[in-house]
Structure 1
Amino acid sequence: MAHTHHEPQGEELADVARATLERAGEQWTQMRAAVFGALAGFDKPASAYDLAEAVSADQGRRVAANSVYRILDVFVAANLARKVESANAYVANAHPDCVHDCIFLVCDSCGQIVHLDDDSLTRGVRSAAQDAGFTPVRPVIEVRGTCAACRRAA
């Protein structure tokens, strides 16, 4: 069933992320805070290179993309970020305490994404995988197309 969440932003979102990461047994370091802040500041999915560039500019020193990738792996494991597989990019998860399979609607025109939580749909995907003898961990569903704003602009 699809549902909505309170979407914390700014400092509230950083506080939620820090608390979630610490509950997962990880440390909230200055670099992790910087990467999460940069990720949360993007209005589209961001690649590790986008984030490395943003953090480098903010800190006045070069931050390597491979360092950002390692941090993103920690964030995904702790549910602080979600990976948009087809774009090899990431979005901040504004409700990390709530674990759902997500569906990404990806606009091929402008690059915007919409993140939906709809467990009724992903339940069917999980069931089909199990029927095939596969144990699913977390389905990733992406629907590529054109968003309403781009359709109107065309």
Structure 2
Amino acid sequence: MHGHDHHEHSGAALTHAAQMTLEKAGEQWTAMRERVFEALASFDNPASAYDIAEEVSKREGRRVAANSVYRILDLFVTSNLARRVESENAYIANAHPDCLHDCIFLVCDTCGQTTHIDDDTITRTVRVAAEKAGFSPERPVIEVRGKCSDCS
């Protein structure tokens, strides 16, 4: 596998890296965006906007609408702070928001565990194939469905 090296953040360092990445993109890091990001990062598996809204609502002690969370998640995906697992209509926090690259997700059909791997050879091949077909790839999403090692 031909991956690339990058520093994966966690906890407060991940939130700080997300903030720096968003601000570098010219966006504001608001209190609500921070709460949504922290809630997203707290999930072990991909989370839906409804899951995140529920978690933020619990933490805030007031109802937070899923529509507001969707808008923030769209910004996070565009800004590389989160990745959307298309087949699950769910999101995961990007553990290295300061590194822009394509991702491959391994999604377990049994337990829902989603593993992110980097393989630049595969994603480069996908981009080249798209370009040869006259298509301009912006955000390739590669998902492999199956069973994780725990469920096999």
Q: TM-score surpassing 0.5?
A: yes
Match for residue 35 of structure 1?
36
Instruction: Report the Cα distance in structure 2 between the residues aligned to 1:3 and 1:27, rounded to whole angstroms.
Output: 29
Deviation string for 1:101-147 (max 9, x for gaps)?
10000000000001011111011111111111111112100000000
The answer for unaligned runs of 5 or more in structure 2 is: none
More divergent stretch after superposition (39-48 vs 6-15)? 6-15
Aligned residues: CA RMSD: 0.9
1:134/1:120 Cα in 2 relative to 1: closer, same or farther (>3 Å)? same
Match for residue 65 of structure 2?
64
Deviation string for 1:89-112 (max 9, x for gaps)?
000001111111100000000000
Which runs of 4 or more aligned residues in structure 1 lie more than 4 Å from their structure 2 counterparts after TM superposition? none
Aligned-pair identity in percent equals: 69
Instruction: Report the Cα distance in structure 2 between the residues aligned to 1:83 and 1:76, rounded to whole angstroms.
Output: 7
Instruction: Report the Cα distance in structure 2 between the residues aligned to 1:45 and 1:27, rounded to whole angstroms.
Output: 25
Read off the aligned partner of 2:62 and give its amino acid letter.
Answer: R
Instruction: Report the Cα distance in structure 2 between the residues aligned to 1:2 and 1:19, rounded to whole angstroms.
Output: 24
The answer to whether the aligner puts 1:118 opposite 2:119 as a matched pair is: yes
Instruction: Report the Cα distance in structure 1 between the residues aligned to 2:52 and 2:148, rounded to whole angstroms.
Output: 25
Aligned pairs for 1:95-110 (under 5 A) are: 95-110=96-111
CA contact (8 A) 2:6 2:99 kept: no
Read off the aligned partner of 2:76 and give its amino acid letter.
Answer: F
Using the TM superposition, give the Cα deviation of residue 4 of structure 1 relative to its aligned residue in structure 2, in angstroms: 4.6
CA contact (8 A) 2:85 2:91 kept: yes
Instruction: Report the Cα distance in structure 1 between the residues aligned to 2:129 and 2:12, rounded to whole angstroms.
Output: 41
Read off the aligned partner of 2:60 and give its amino acid letter.
Answer: Q
Match for residue 83 of structure 1?
84
Match for residue 147 of structure 1?
148
Instruction: Report the Cα distance in structure 1 between the residues aligned to 2:100 and 2:88, rounded to whole angstroms.
Output: 22
- SS of residue matched to 2:127: helix
Report the count of equivalent residues.
151
Using the TM superposition, give the Cα deviation of residue 3 of structure 1 relative to its aligned residue in structure 2, in angstroms: 3.4
Using the TM superposition, give the Cα deviation of residue 19 of structure 1 relative to its aligned residue in structure 2, in angstroms: 0.6
Match for residue 56 of structure 2?
55
Instruction: Report the Cα distance in structure 1 between the residues aligned to 2:18 and 2:84, rounded to whole angstroms.
Output: 16
Q: TM-score, normalised by structure 1?
A: 0.95
- SS of residue matched to 2:151: helix
Match for residue 15 of structure 2?
14
